[in-house]
Amino acid sequence: MPAVDKLLLEEALQDSPQTRSLLSVFEEDAGTLTVYTNQLLQAMQRVYGAQNEMCLATQQLSRQLLAYEEQNFALGKGDEEVISTLHYFSKVVDELNALHAELAKQLADTMVLPVIQFREKDLTEISTLKDLFGLTSSDHDLAMAKYSRLSKKKENEKVKAELAREVAAARQKQHLSALQYYCALNALQHRKRVAMMEPMLGFARGQISFFKKGAEMFSQSMDSFLSSGADMVQSIQAELEEEAEQMRASQQELLSVDESVYIPDFDGAAPEVNRNLIQKAGYLNLRNRTGLVSTSWERLYFFTQGGNLMCQPRGAVAGGLIQDLDNCSVMAVDCEDRRYCFQITAPNGKSGIILQAESRKEYEEWICTIHNISRQIYLTEDPEAVAIRLNQPALQAVTPITSLSKKQGSSGPSQSPKHAELANEGGVPRAAAAAPDAEQLIAPGTPIQFDIVLPATEFLDQNRGGRRTNPFGESEDNTFPEAEDSLLQQMFVVRFLGSMAVKTDSTTEVIYEAMRQVLAARAIHNIFRMTESHLMVTSQALRLIDPQTQVSRANFELSSITQFAAHQENKRLFGFVTRLPESTGEEALSTYIFESNSEGEKICYAVNLGKEIIEAQKDPQALARLMLSVPLTHDGKYVLLSDHTDDSDGGPGGSRGAESEA
């Protein structure tokens, strides 16, 4: 016999829309079978009624034949032969009546009764289990709704534990009713075959027995056919018993799992979160607006497909698009005193959707998954490996190297000893220096700032003295007059990651430790947004400029920059340390970390060249030699930082060249 479709008992607990969709197919099949069984029973009852009517009719016919003799016909002479013939026919009809009565009894026992039992037992059981499954599902949804409304601010462990037990009990009841319902539906696929074939086998046997006894009209071929039909019924019955035993064993195994699978947020204190997912699926609560100030929450099944967030209601065949996740942002939010809420915002900044997870693990994994998809990791050849590399915590990050170590190793003979010494001061630690302890570099618990402290308008006020501030935030043509006299102008597109106070500037290791702590803090607190700026490197200062308004956000004099370096593994990370005097007479040390669109070593080379120009300006001859050693623009006014060396490591002299030219 061909295999039949069946519901997987292992998916009963998850109760996903796919399982519900397949369940609806089985329920539709059971409904169709119920309608057909009722119609078939009506037809068989009509045959049985006709057979009973045949018995009554033959019995009445026999009596009527015998009653002919009792009739007082006025012209009754010569009726003796007729009467004797009718008596013979009466005996034949009586014998036929006995055969019909026996056939009617066989039809009742072997044709009508099995269909009635199938309808009253199996189909009624399916209907009862369906109602029970619906009730337990409703109870589970109500329990989850009460648990989801659990307050985060006024958290009561007793209430939380009580609601968790209520959810676990409801989920266990739903699981048990689902297993029983699935088993009954799977068994129905076998029983319906038996229920359709067994009545007709009984009908055929009764008819054959009737005709054999009456006239021996049936041949041996029909007997062999009936024998094969009986063998088929027995094989189906044996297959049903084997399948039922397997389902009972599987049901016992699934019900023997730990009760923690029914309890939401079971490991809420320290869940094992996978931050490298690129696809995820599960139930979330979706916040909907029902009025100007009123909202409602709906529990739906969400899943990711490529760069899209999809939603599939129960019973639906397929899911629908909810949000395009490419280049979007995701962040945790406080919403209506509910726990584990997060918001997805479109790339244009418009408010997106607010979702709620049922546990802390689901909450953090959904945020990490959406963030990974927003960076279009899924488009790479090995998305899982890329996600692991990009989400690698700072505590496990590789040890960065100096920004110009490779460059110093590949510098030609034309590089002067003074040039090498300046480069070593700005970006390359000496090989013999041992890596200091992290607490010697940065004090434990030092706060990290994830945005530039000095606003653009405040910076302009400080640098313009008593001059009037432009109320529209637009820069004037002579905002940076010193740039006209600068021998070096180089622009880079950067994003500010963070800044923090440090204890020393004697080694570039302080920059690498700051990189590690800033990246770790952003990963822990799910801070993914970064403001893009233009970093202009001149022979006097580093300027951070707003790309839209061209207003300077921050200014760092090159003389105040004591260390600068780039990360070897993540070549786009760049940082520097500043030493500035305070009003108390002491000096403040701070490190600033950036992410560049190009390689950080290019920025390091530009900063190092700017510091060399500052030193060379003290000696006109040294400045002339320095200008001859580097390429200039066509007008001979500014230093051109492209193709100035033949480094093979992607340094600032690589084939890509500078990002822009002043």
pLDDT, tens digit, for every residue of 582-595? 878 788 899 999 98
Which CATH number characterizes residue 66's domain? 1.20.1270.60
Of 256 and 217, the one with more pLDDT: 256
Among 355, 352, 366, smallest CA distance to 286 is for 355
Q: Per residue, what are the HEC states of 475-523?
A: CCCCCCHHHHHCCCEEEEEEEEEEEEECCCCCCCHHHHHHHHHHHHHHH
Residue 548 belongs to a domain = yes
**Which strand ranges, in their side-by-side order, compose the sheet holding 295-305?**
320-324, 308-312, 295-305, 281-289, 353-356, 341-345, 329-332
Of 283 and 521, the one with more pLDDT: 283
Residue 464 — pLDDT band, cuts 50, 70, 90?
very low
**264 pLDDT higher than 70:** yes
Residues 376 and 503 placed together within one structural domain of the fold: no
Q: State how far the Cα of 502 lies from the Cα of 518, in Å rounded to an integer.
A: 13
Residue 45 — pLDDT band, cuts 50, 70, 90?
very high
Say what the pLDDT of residue 100 is: 85
User: What is the helix (H) or strand (E) element at residue 64, kind and residue range?
Assistant: helix 17-67
Of 224 and 318, the one with more pLDDT: 318
Say what the pLDDT of residue 614 is: 82
List Cβ<8 Å contacts ≥24 apart for 295-304.
Answer: 295/336, 297/145, 297/148, 297/338, 297/356, 299/141, 299/144, 299/145, 299/148, 301/16, 301/17, 302/355, 303/279, 304/278, 304/279, 304/280, 304/369, 304/370, 304/373
- Name the least confident of 140-154, 218-232, 341-355, 402-416: 402-416
Residues 494 and 360 placed together within one structural domain of the fold: no
Say what the pLDDT of residue 425 is: 41
What residue ranges in 166-214 does DSSP mark as E strands?
none
Both structure tokens of 566: 């780039």
**540 pLDDT higher than 90:** no
Both structure tokens of 200: 């007709």
Residue 227 belongs to a domain = no
Instruction: Decide if 539 contacts 614 (C-beta within 8 A).
Output: yes
Residues 191 and 339 placed together within one structural domain of the fold: no
Residues 196 and 69 placed together within one structural domain of the fold: yes
pLDDT in tens, 376-402: 777 887 887 877 776 664 333 333 333
**431 pLDDT higher than 80:** no
Say what the pLDDT of residue 467 is: 42
Instruction: Give the rounded percent of residues in the chain with a pLDDT score beyond 90.
Output: 19
Give the residue numbers spanning the domain of 354.
Answer: 281-392
Residues 58 and 198 placed together within one structural domain of the fold: yes
Which CATH number characterizes residue 523's domain? 2.30.29.30
- What is the tally of helices (H) and strands (E) in the chain? 15, 15
Of 56 and 223, the one with more pLDDT: 56
Residue 239 — pLDDT band, cuts 50, 70, 90?
confident
| Strands 329-332 and 541-545, sheet pairing | unpaired
Q: At what angle do helices 620-629 and 600-616 cross, to 10 degrees?
A: 150
Residue 4 — pLDDT band, cuts 50, 70, 90?
low
Residues 47 and 190 placed together within one structural domain of the fold: yes
- Domains of the chain: total: 3
Residue 223 belongs to a domain = no
Using the 3D structure, point to which of 348, 368, 392 is the last residue of a domain. 392
Q: At what angle do helices 360-374 and 383-390 cross, to 10 degrees?
A: 110
- Name the least confident of 296-300, 518-522, 597-601, 633-637: 633-637
Residues 212 and 287 placed together within one structural domain of the fold: no
Who's near 575: CB < 8 A, 6+ residues apart?
511, 514, 515, 564, 565, 566, 591, 592, 593, 594
**173 pLDDT higher than 80:** yes
Q: Which residue type is seen at 568? A: Q
Residues 170 and 32 placed together within one structural domain of the fold: yes
Say what the pLDDT of residue 392 is: 60
Indicate the average pLDDT of the chain: 77
Residue 84 belongs to a domain = yes
Residues 118 and 21 placed together within one structural domain of the fold: yes
Using the 3D structure, point to which of 217, 236, 256 is the last residue of a domain. 217
Q: State how far the Cα of 24 lies from the Cα of 197, in Å rounded to an integer.
A: 26
Burial 214-233 (b: 16+ CB within 10 A, else e): eeeebeeeeeeeeeebeeee
Residues 186 and 322 placed together within one structural domain of the fold: no
Residue 643 belongs to a domain = no
Say what the pLDDT of residue 281 is: 93
Say what the pLDDT of residue 611 is: 86
Say what the pLDDT of residue 176 is: 92
Residue 308 belongs to a domain = yes
Residue 87 belongs to a domain = yes
Residues 209 and 298 placed together within one structural domain of the fold: no
Say what the pLDDT of residue 2 is: 57
Residue 229 — pLDDT band, cuts 50, 70, 90?
low
User: What is the helix (H) or strand (E) element at residue 320, kind and residue range?
Assistant: strand 320-324
Using the 3D structure, point to which of 371, 392, 413 is the last residue of a domain. 392
Residue 459 — pLDDT band, cuts 50, 70, 90?
very low
Residues 327 and 210 placed together within one structural domain of the fold: no
Say what the pLDDT of residue 219 is: 52
pLDDT in tens, 602-654: 899 889 888 888 887 777 766 667 766 666 554 444 444 543 333 333 333 33
Residue 419 belongs to a domain = no
188 — phi, psi (to 5°)?
Answer: -65, -30
